[in-house]
Amino acid sequence: MSNDVFKPETEKDDVPPASTEEFLEALERADVYPAVSTEGTPLPLECRLVVHTDPRSAGADRFRLVQIRLRSMQASRKLQSLLITSPLPEDGKSTVALNLATGLSDNGKCPVLLLEADVHRPTLLKKLGLEPWPGLTECFKSKSDPMRAIRRIDPLGFYLLPAGQPAEDGSSLLQSDFTAQLIKNLSSSSFSWILIDSPPTTPIADILVLRAQADATLLVARARQTPREAIEESTQNLGRGHILGIVLNGVDGLERAYSKYYGYGNSSDGRMRGVMSRVGAGVKRIRSKVDPRVKQIISKVDPCVQQIISKVKEGLGRGADGE
């Protein structure tokens, strides 16, 4: 499929959103551009998009390794839709999903859709620093076309279908024919990857429904935080054969190893250490010149100060005797 389908000329907020048929048809044809609005993210710090903001970091390199393995698996088996989940909340699955979507899209050269299916606790728009727009929840309630909620995220290059407002009864949404048909339609399109940011593996009913719609699963766990028992339970519930691997998040010590290779870990940290070393050397030179002068001044002042103190003490002593 031609990359022209996703050329930047479609980046207009006033472009009317496409229906399902129009969108899927545009994906299949090289001479038609899908009418999708574009949202520009300011990339706030809380998004932690290291593959874009710090590509020489240890975290970015690990994500590249995951991407290489995913592409290798895709070449040897049917692999398009990928469920990204975790045993517990706060394990970092949404951050992993954002980094993988950014890396796999390769600056928009490869069409990647990130589907936010965590309708209980949606976080992606907040992480990206974007104003909310209607997503899965609103489309489900109004029975409108969810394809109209898809927008391209720049400068990251992937497409996003957000969850919308937190759903009071998210399980009904996720377990409905609406969600199953949506993922089926997306899977029949020319998206190279469909990444599903799902709820954690509890409640189990939600995750099993989404698992049935996905080709495989990535399980995300946090080092020193996710209990081994929770990982084992999630693995058993999802099925070992459906899990491609476990992404261990929050591992310490990797930056030190990478700093030995690159000469520094984070590029800004390396520059800062260099500046501080030069400042420290300058301070030492100034001290070496100033200290002797200061000592001379103190040596001259000290006798005068001592005389004043002794006279004050004498005066205080006489005042005490008079009382």
Per-residue pLDDT tens over the stretch 12-43: 444 455 566 665 565 554 443 456 899 999 99
Q: How far is CA 135 from CA 124, 151, 161, 289, 298, in A?
A: 12, 10, 6, 67, 73
Mean pLDDT by 10 residues, the chain (323 residues): 36 50 55 70 91 93 95 93 96 97 96 97 96 96 93 96 93 94 91 96 90 97 94 96 94 63 48 46 52 58 61 55 47
Mean pLDDT of the chain: 80
Question: What is the helix (H) or strand (E) element at residue 84, kind and residue range?
Answer: strand 81-85
Q: Which two tokens stand for residue 282?
A: 């300058």
pLDDT at 256: 60
CA 112 to chain centre: 16
pLDDT at 119: 96
pLDDT at 66: 96
pLDDT at 250: 86
Closest to 83 in 3D by CA, of 59, 112, 114? 114
Helical spans, DSSP H, in the chain: 20-28, 50-53, 58-76, 93-105, 124-128, 136-142, 170-174, 177-187, 204-213, 228-238, 254-262, 267-322
Instruction: Give per-residue pLDDT as tens, 208-236.
Output: 999 999 999 999 999 999 999 999 999 99
The whole model's pTM is what?
Answer: 0.72
pLDDT at 64: 96
Closest to 158 in 3D by CA, of 204, 103, 203? 103
Other Cβ atoms less than 10 A from the Cβ of 319: the count is 9
Q: How far is Cα 13 from Cα 264, in angstroms, rounded to an integer?
A: 41
pLDDT at 51: 96
Q: What angle do CA 270, 51, 210 make, to 5 degrees?
A: 150
Using the Cα atoms of residue 15, residue 192, residue 158 and residue 178 in order, give the sign of their dihedral: positive
Q: Which two tokens stand for residue 86?
A: 């975790």
pLDDT at 199: 95
